[in-house]
Amino acid sequence: MSDIIQLLPDHVANQIAAGEVVQRPASVVKELLENAIDAQATHIKLIIKEAGKTLIQVIDDGIGMSVTDARLSFERHATSKIKSAEDLFELNTKGFRGEALASIAAIAHVELKTKQEKDEVGTEIKIEGSEVVAQEICVTPKGTAISVKNLFYNIPARRNFLKSNAVELRHIIDEFHRVAMAHPTLKFDMYHNGSEVFNLPLSNNRQRIVNIFGGKTNEKLVPVKEETDLVTISGFVGKPEYAKRSRGEQFFFVNDRFIKSPYLNHAVNAAFEGLLKDKAHPSYFIYLQVDPRSVDINIHPTKTEIKFEDEHALYAMLRSTIKHSLGQFNVAPVLDFNRDSSMDTPYEYKSKMAKTPTIEVDRSFNPFKEEKITGSNTSSKSYTSFKKESTGSWENLYVGLESEMETTKPKENDFSSVEFESEEVTGSIFENEEKTTANHTTYQLQRKYIVTTIKSGMVIVNQHRAHQRIVYEELLRGITMASAVSQQLLFPLKLSFSKKEIALLETVKEQLENTGFIFGEQRLGEIEITGIPAVATEKEVSVLLEQLINDLENEVPDSGFSQTDLLAKSMARSIAVRTGVELAPEQQQYMVNSLFACTEPTITPDNKPTFITLTVDEIDKKF
């Protein structure tokens, strides 16, 4: 057999290698910003169109390149930053692999304009799919401007893999944040589709963080500082009371490079131990300066993972430094004593040992007293939240019904509950609800379960789970039929979010509106909300949106449907009445009836059982 091995042509090799460096537009942004920083720029401008799919341009005022260097910069392994392998251990630059420009040029249309200070004129080079198509002399200011157009134009599979503009823009903003936060003494601007997204002036670390995450961030920050032979730690942690459900604001920088480190993240969490509510994540912006020889940043092509020589010492130091800061700034004690304990019920409840359920009988309870009350209503109006303090809204719900019932039907009689008991139990336990539920009794057990009887025995409904199912189906109906009911707020709610969070919410704005949200003006990291879904209360809106952001961040849904589903699930989880909330009898009945009016009453949106049944046979066996 003849020889079959051949060397891949350069442009093919480059395309393959590009896959490692360039996953999405945000990867290009990162590489170009880092090159500008390595070129000692003081002002860096990022211009994006269509979330980077059509244009990514970075303009810097750095040292520029000579004609030869400009041409060479697109060759693989062409770098001015290291000369030998030893240099790898003394790195002071972001780049060193000499791969970024070669990779980008293999999969996009690239235009470079560059000029060094000493030169009269600059160089302009155009490259398409690794081929130089033009090289000219040009007039351009000192520094370098690179535009990357039509990313992945020659790899359709990759291009098709890109997510929606909103998602890709989010990734770009993430990279921009990371680079800008690592270099507060440089000026950064960012434009998207012609409008300014960020304009970050020269500043210090604190101002830079505030400029990025919004004015309200300032009061949340606790400074962290420590200097040892091994490491200099500086930066900030967020006060525990501002800890979020989303992990969004967690940043480590090592020698001005953003890195990911689950190990160090653990150290920060350990410092916060006992100060955070369940599922809350502290914000942190930690800057570590270490001897470049003590780290290895060569282990990952995008260089976000690094290896420390003495990880354990670093862990211990970071933890104790943060602990110390939290103590020094009196953050810990304030939290302990100023807590509103009434807010804590669900958490306390959680840690308690479960008691053996006991049935408490209210001897004064007369099931026939409220004979006009029926729970069969499943109109959207009836889904008003359970958490409203007064039962007024509940009564209101039934007012209309009462008269309706009276005119359309004979008065329910005392036998209805008996009838109910004698009903055949089929797939839907409450099939004949109008007749059967008017008078039947429910009990709330341990502020967690609703117990009611059926012919064959009893049903035990988990109130939180059942309500999740009810709200979930209601929201889905609202979204798909655009029929949700809104509550107008007397005073608009103003909630602040970071730009990234706002970008994330934008991706589901339409669905949110279909659940009943009405958005007003949006400016300076603040969203104004003038109407909220009828199923939610004003108090829970901010937690609801935070949880939603968190869920959207962790699961990037691909299709419109799964996004709607994720949104409905997330909101239902936030809105559903918690364990520990006492429900009035009519609320209990409403819950049971609405649950069994659902399309899939047996499980929560996350497939957990919503109720169990206990038959008389099973009870008999226990005696």
Count the residues of the shown chain that bind ligand ADP, applying the rule CB under 6 A.
24
Q: For residues 332 and 241, is the Cβ–Cβ distance under 8 A?
A: no
Q: Does 60 bind ligand ADP (CB under 6 A)?
A: yes
- Asked if residue 95 binds Mg ion (CB under 5 A), the reply is yes
**Which 8-state DSSP code applies to residue 304?**
-
**Tokens 């979010």 belong to which residue?**
497
Of the pair 31, 168, the CB lying nearest ligand ADP is at 31
Strand partners, 300: none
> What one-letter code names the amino acid at 129?
G
Provide, rounded to whole angstroms, the least separation between the CB of residue 37 and Mg ion: 9
| Closest by CA position to 540, among listed 515, 572, 501 | 572
Applying CB under 6 A, among 17, 78, 210, 332 the residue interacting with ligand ADP is: 78
- Confirm or reject binding of residue 65 to ligand ADP (CB under 6 A): yes
Angle (CA) 190 54 561, round 5°: 95
Instruction: Say if CB 256 and CB 182 are below 8 A apart.
Output: yes
122 near ligand ADP, judged by CB under 6 A: no
CB neighbours (10 Å) of residue 356? 5
Per residue, what are the HEC states of 17-56? HHHHHCCCHHHHHHHHHHHHHHCCCCEEEEEEEHHHCCEE
Q: Which of residues 43 and 81 has its CB atom nearest to ligand ADP in the complex?
A: 81
* Residue list 79-118, contact with ligand ADP (CB under 6 A): 79-81, 95-102
Which range, of 76-84, 369-377, 405-413, 480-488, touches ligand ADP by CB under 6 A? 76-84
Is residue 292 at the binding interface for ligand ADP, with CB under 6 A as the rule?
Answer: no
Site for Mg ion in 17-36 (CB under 5 A): 35
Name which of 95 and 240 has its Cβ closer to Mg ion.
95
Q: Which is nearer to Mg ion, 27 or 537 (CB)?
A: 27
| Segment interacting with Mg ion, rule: CB under 5 A, options 96-104, 276-284, 436-444, 464-472 | 96-104
Asked if residue 79 binds Mg ion (CB under 5 A), the reply is no
Q: What beta strand segments (E) does 121-264 contain?
A: 122-128, 131-138, 143-149, 187-192, 195-200, 221-227, 231-238, 250-254, 257-259
Strands (DSSP E) contained in 350-485 are 442-445, 449-454, 457-462
Q: Show contacts with ligand ADP in window 26-55 (CB under 6 A).
A: 31, 35-36, 38-39
DSSP symbols for 100-153: HHHHHHHSSEEEEEEE-TT-SSEEEEEEETTEEEEEEEE---SEEEEEEESTTT
Contact flag: residue 100 with Mg ion (CB under 5 A): yes
The residue range among 97-105, 126-134, 293-301, 325-333 that interacts with Mg ion, by the rule CB under 5 A, is 97-105
Out of ligand ADP, Mg ion, none, what residue 556 binds, judged by CB under 5 to 8 A for its kind, is: none
Residue 73 binding partner per list ligand ADP, Mg ion, none, with a CB distance cut-off of 5 to 8 Å that depends on partner kind: ligand ADP
Nearest residue (CB) to Mg ion, 87 versus 538: 87
State the residues that interact with Mg ion by CB under 5 A: 35, 95, 100
State the residues that interact with ligand ADP by CB under 6 A: 31, 35-36, 38-39, 60, 62-65, 73, 78-81, 95-102, 144
